[in-house]
Chain A
Amino acid sequence: MAPRREVAESCLEFLYIELVQSYERKDAECAEKGDGRASRAALESIGFQVGQQLAERYTIDRARFADHLEVIKFICKEFWSEIFRKQVDHLKTNRHRALFVLQDDRFRWLRHLSLPAEQTSNTEAVAKYLVFPCGLIKGALSSFGVNCEVTAEISEDARKPTQCSFEVRIK
């Protein structure tokens, strides 16, 4: 087997931040034509495709999943540790409503973001950085045959700026 190829994490973070910003700039240009929300969909669909590709790659040595819960557990453990080097901190489930909430207390892709001084609430500014991970989760789940909607929420708590949760609603 070929050795695993690696990339510096800082490169990935810069690329990611620039990806989000470049789509935001594109939005600002399109805003005049009344199409200012296109970047969300674009970012999500890039995430979706990457999620699908990674899902295929990370499950090569695994037995096939038996049910949805096993898939969600895989996302929380193996998938998360491959991408974010840690597992999801809390998983809340509501099986009647087919709802799963994945909470990460120190989300890796938010660690190095700092808000401008005049801004007090981080929710608005940070939300756009969570569109891509939503697509990532959705893409991985959909390639395992789980159709779902994924939305992200950022903690209101100012002491925990990198805490966020992803809500997976299975259709």
Chain B
Amino acid sequence: MIVCAAVVGPSYNPLHLQTFALDDDPLKYHYIVHCALDVIDERLSPPSPRSRGAGGNDPCLGYLYSTEDFKVYGYVSNTHVKFLLVLDDPETKDVRELFHRFHSAYIDAVSNPFQLPGHSITSRSFEARLRALASS
């Protein structure tokens, strides 16, 4: 199950972080996401990432790292927006599909003319779509 979904902007500005476990402290996830950004940075820094075969420019970075309880997955769009999902499953679902839906929801949220570019997203429909994603 997805326990946390986060969007981070091109200049590493946090745009959105949402948790789906009831009793958890969001701060913990901020920390996990923050650590994952270092991994993303590392993956993106060489122009053609080594030993990852043909998927060098694949937006879906896949598995990034794990903590004791969670696994963190990442996705980077063409516009350098980073998407992160924190999962607590031992077995991996189709994260590519999840990220695609996550990205679509984000696109619809930022296409709102009242959404200021580069500001954090506080749209209720975006949150609802992420909740639907988490419970799917």
| B10 touches A (CB below 8 Å) | yes
- Would A65 and B104 count as touching, CB distance under 8 A? no
Within 8 A of B (CB), among A50-87: 52-53, 55-57, 59-60, 62-66
Number of interface residues of A (CB under 8 A): 17
Give the B-binding residues of A (Cβ under 8 A): 1, 49, 52-53, 55-57, 59-60, 62-66, 143-145
In-complex Cβ contact of A64 among B10, B59, B107, B111 (8 A): B59
Number of interface residues of B (CB under 8 A): 20
Chain A interface, DSSP helix/strand/loop, else mixed? loop
| Cα of A9 to Cα of B10 in the assembled complex, Å | 33
Within 8 A of A (CB), among B61-89: 76-81
- Would B57 and A66 count as touching, CB distance under 8 A? yes
**Knowing A59-B78, A65-B78 touch, does A53 contact B111 (C-beta < 8 A)?**
yes
In-complex Cβ contact of A57 among B10, B58, B111, B113 (8 A): B111
Q: Mark B114-132, 1 if CB is under 8 A from A, else 0.
A: 0001000000000000000
- Would A60 and B104 count as touching, CB distance under 8 A? yes
| B90 touches A (CB below 8 Å) | no
In-complex Cβ contact of B78 among A1, A53, A144 (8 A): A144
| B53 touches A (CB below 8 Å) | no
Q: Mark B28-57, 1 if CB is under 8 A from A, else 0.
A: 000000000000000000010000000001
- Would B111 and A60 count as touching, CB distance under 8 A? no
- Would B107 and A57 count as touching, CB distance under 8 A? yes
| Cα of A144 to Cα of B10 in the assembled complex, Å | 9
Q: Taking CB as reference atom, which chain B residue is nearest A57?
A: B107
| B16 touches A (CB below 8 Å) | no
Chain A nearest Cβ from B109, distance in angstroms: 10
